[in-house]
Structure 1
Amino acid sequence: MQKSFLVAFVALMLGLFPGSRAVAQYNNWAVGFRLGEPSGINVRKYFRDTKAFDLNVGSYGGLYGNTREYRQGRYRSIGLSVQGHYVWHNRLFGRDNLRGYYGLGGQVNRRRYYPDNLRGQQVDYIAEISLGGSAIAGLEYFVPDKPFSVFLESGLYVEVLPAPLFMNVQSGLGLRYNF
């Protein structure tokens, strides 16, 4: 299923490239949605020509499966995530409407954690809050003469609390309206 999303996204990107050079339509703010991990609302604030702050608020734990081994137990649900990154972005291949970016930031998650020692009890989970660092890298394509951009990104989440060095690969694709 992930491969079909990636193939569809790449086909969309290739179909949107114009034959002539176009000017990027990024402005001060962009709002849209991101499908992936985390999935949800995406807001980006641009600073100058090469920096931005990116915020994702949405669900965590759905793209790579609801059940995941974690500490002495597992996650078996989708939770809430807030993720923020300071982003550096630059033109690619001399095109104003295609930009590469990378960023560093943090992430807070809330999910149900099912520890092995609570198995079989009336309440067999704990509402777990986790905190960690994250890094992303991606591509953003600004549709010529339109206020929209599409993006594809991938990254890594490394938890600090409560499970130091728990790692999770994250990826997503999305659409933003630039205003």
Structure 2
Amino acid sequence: MNRILQITFISVITFLGFSTAAQAQLTTQHAIGARFGSATGITYRYTLSPDRAIEGIMSVQSNSKSSRFRLVGLYQYHKPLIDDLSWFWGFGGSVGSYTGKAYTDANGKRFDKYSELALSIDGIAGLEYKIPSAPIAITLDAKPYFDFLQESGFRIVDGLGFSVRYTF
């Protein structure tokens, strides 16, 4: 089922990426806000042209055994769907740190704290709704990434997020 979901998601993004019927409209130069999901942080988007932008995300992710800090940079393409709803996709990368917390397992074995460099290639695809009567944009996105160093692998679920941004 997970594989079917991945193929469907990639197919939809590819189809929408090659459609050229509409012109995108990023109407504000800046957007800053908070991103929530498995990783929580601050997001800032800078508009380069009416249909392109760059975004930076500083996020923290933590559980009982580890924590992760990441700085993500993304280049994005934006296209309108209807009225104030648009969709976007893009790519980039991230750098950060991965820290394993000190703990003792159920068998009494002790694990010490350690820290490593974290590097990844990131993608992003999502929907953005700009509230017409307010300088607020709401975004729902998937930000899959390929992690090079820790448990090298492709992650989709870790990248699901919801953002609320102030636009100016």
TM-score range, shorter-chain basis? Answer: 0.7 to 0.9
Q: Is the 8 A contact 2:67 2:101 kept in 1?
A: no
Q: 1:161 to 1:141 in 2, by over 3 A?
A: same
Aligned-partner residue type, residue 149 of structure 2: L
Deviations 1:80-105 (A, max 9, x none): 11111101011003x2x111001101
> What is the rounded CA distance, in whole Å, between the counterparts of 1:127 and 1:144 in structure 2?
45
Aligned residue pairs: how many? 138
> What is the rounded CA distance, in whole Å, between the counterparts of 1:44 and 1:26 in structure 2?
12
TM-score normalized with structure 2 length: 0.72
Spell out the pairing of 1:131-150 with structure 2 (5 A cutoff): 131-150=119-138
Deviation at 1:141, TM superposition (A): 0.4
Q: What is the match of residue 57 of structure 1? A: 58
Q: What is the match of residue 145 of structure 2? A: 157
Structure with greater contact order relative to length (CA < 8 Å, sep ≥ 6) = 1
Q: What is the match of residue 111 of structure 1? A: 98
Spell out the pairing of 1:22-33 with structure 2 (5 A cutoff): 26-33=27-34
Spell out the pairing of 1:1-179 with structure 2 (5 A cutoff): 26-61=27-62, 66=63, 76-93=65-82, 95=83, 97-113=84-100, 120=109, 124-161=112-149, 163-165=151-153, 167-169=155-157, 170-179=159-168
Aligned-partner residue type, residue 93 of structure 2: G
Question: RMSD across aligned C-alpha pairs, in angstroms?
Answer: 2.3
Q: What are structure 1's unaligned runs of at least 5 residues?
A: 1-23, 68-75
Deviation at 1:28, TM superposition (A): 0.7
Q: Is the 8 A contact 2:97 2:116 kept in 1?
A: yes
Q: Is the 8 A contact 1:34 1:175 kept in 2?
A: yes
SS at match of 2:153: coil
Identity of matched residues, %: 28
